[in-house]
Amino acid sequence: MEESQEAAVPVVPMKEMLDRALADRYGVAAFNILNDLTIEGVLAAAAEERAPVILQTSVKTVRQYGRDQLFGIFSALARDVAVPVTLHLDHCPERSVISDCLAGGWNSVLFDAHELDVAENLRQTQEVVAEARRRGAHVEGEIEGIQGVEDGIGSDEASARQSLEVAVDFIKRTEVDCFAPAIGNAHGQYKATPTLDHQRVSDLVEATGVPMALHGGTGLSDEQFTDLISRGCAKVNISTALKEAFMKSALEFLKGAEEKGTWDPPSLFRHQRAAVVEMARSHIRLFGSSGRAW
Ligand code: 13P
């Protein structure tokens, strides 16, 4: 059989992707995908930008499809994409779902045990890291809640902050591959411009050498993204912007369809896909990961 000109790159480990990004100080965009259209649109954007990309799933999306069906859709669509891709489970407090996704082919998981006290969180995160390692997978850790409810997980209340020493000790003793600090960021659209504790990112990276995950990406300014990425936020999470691109483009299209009285689903899908691709490309460019595929 003839080889294609551009060989497909296999799905890569999250750690490899983030360690490269940390070393060269760019951000890998991590989009919370929802279905086949958003998976395909984000992958197309990454391929057009020649950028590595993380696709992440909420627990809600895993439950909506079922693990195997969701993984099957991801695998079928990612197989022939010629840029590095990795599949990550976003905020998951449930050990059974963590184990299920690791067994089902996810490359990394965020074990979100911030509701436990730090000692118990640390003990269980060590177990999750050991379990992930057995499967060649990686782990993001978290000890403070990121404000805002996303897909049914989280709280609108700001959670307690831990000291820098506690966070550094957690990262070193658990050997997590990535860490999600609370720095004044929040999931969903910001109601006012957030004041971010960017120094905490610098301090954590300097003390541990571990890449940070920037949660609550939607609504941050270009300057905030650029600054935090330069300090070591190698993974940048975007969820709300994808949901809005997906749904607002549908709303706009459907209003027009109603006016004209024409109901053609493939035209709707094309319109939504274009909005998702544009949203993803603009974030990838802003985070400096265009042209970073290997
Ligand atoms: P946004 O919904 O604010 O983009 O946050 C995404 C996120 O951090 C997912 O964990």
Q: Which residue among 36, 80, 90, 112 is the active-site one?
A: 90
pLDDT tens-digit profile of 170-222?
999 999 999 999 999 999 999 999 999 999 999 999 999 999 999 999 999 99
Q: Which residues of 85-122 are buried (b: 16+ CB within 10 A; e: fewer)?
A: bbbbbbbbbeeebbebbbebbbbbbbbbbbeeebeebb
Axis crossing angle, helix 36-49 with helix 265-286, rounded to the nearest 10: 40
Q: Is 90 a catalytic residue?
A: yes
What is the C-alpha to C-alpha distance for residues 241 and 16, in angstroms, rounded to an integer?
26
Query: What does each C-alpha distance from 265 to 53, 73, 234 come to in angstroms?
Result: 28, 20, 38
What is the C-alpha to C-alpha distance for residues 230 and 201, in angstroms, rounded to an integer?
10
Tokens of 179: 């860490």
Going residue by residue through the chain (294 aa), what tens digit of pLDDT does each one get?
344 445 565 789 999 999 999 999 999 999 999 999 999 999 999 999 999 999 999 999 999 999 999 999 999 999 989 999 999 999 999 999 999 999 999 999 999 999 999 999 999 999 999 999 999 999 999 999 888 888 888 888 777 789 999 999 999 999 999 999 999 999 999 999 999 999 999 999 999 999 999 999 999 999 999 999 999 999 999 999 999 999 999 999 999 999 999 999 999 999 999 999 999 999 999 999 999 999
The pTM score is: 0.95
Query: Ligand 1 atom closest to Cα of 188?
Result: 3
CA of 129 to the centre of ligand 1 (A): 23
Would the CB of 232 count as within 6 Å of ligand 1? no
Tokens of 240: 């709300």
Would the CB of 240 count as within 6 Å of ligand 1? yes
Residue 191: alpha-carbon gap to chain centroid: 22
How many Cα atoms occupy the beta-carbon half-sphere of 231 within 13 Å?
22
Give the torsion through C-alpha atoms of 223, 242, 28, 12, to 10 deg: 180
For residue 101, give every residue at least 6 positions away whose Cβ sits within 8 Å of its Cβ, in sequence order, or none: 57, 62, 67, 89, 92, 109
Query: Ligand 1 atom closest to Cα of 189?
Result: 3
What is the C-alpha to C-alpha distance for residues 109 and 135, in angstroms, rounded to an integer?
12
Would the CB of 145 count as within 6 Å of ligand 1? no
What is the C-alpha to C-alpha distance for residues 60 and 277, in angstroms, rounded to an integer?
23
Q: Which of 137, 102, 97 is nearest to 113 (CA)?
A: 97
- Map tokens 């460019």 to a residue: 285
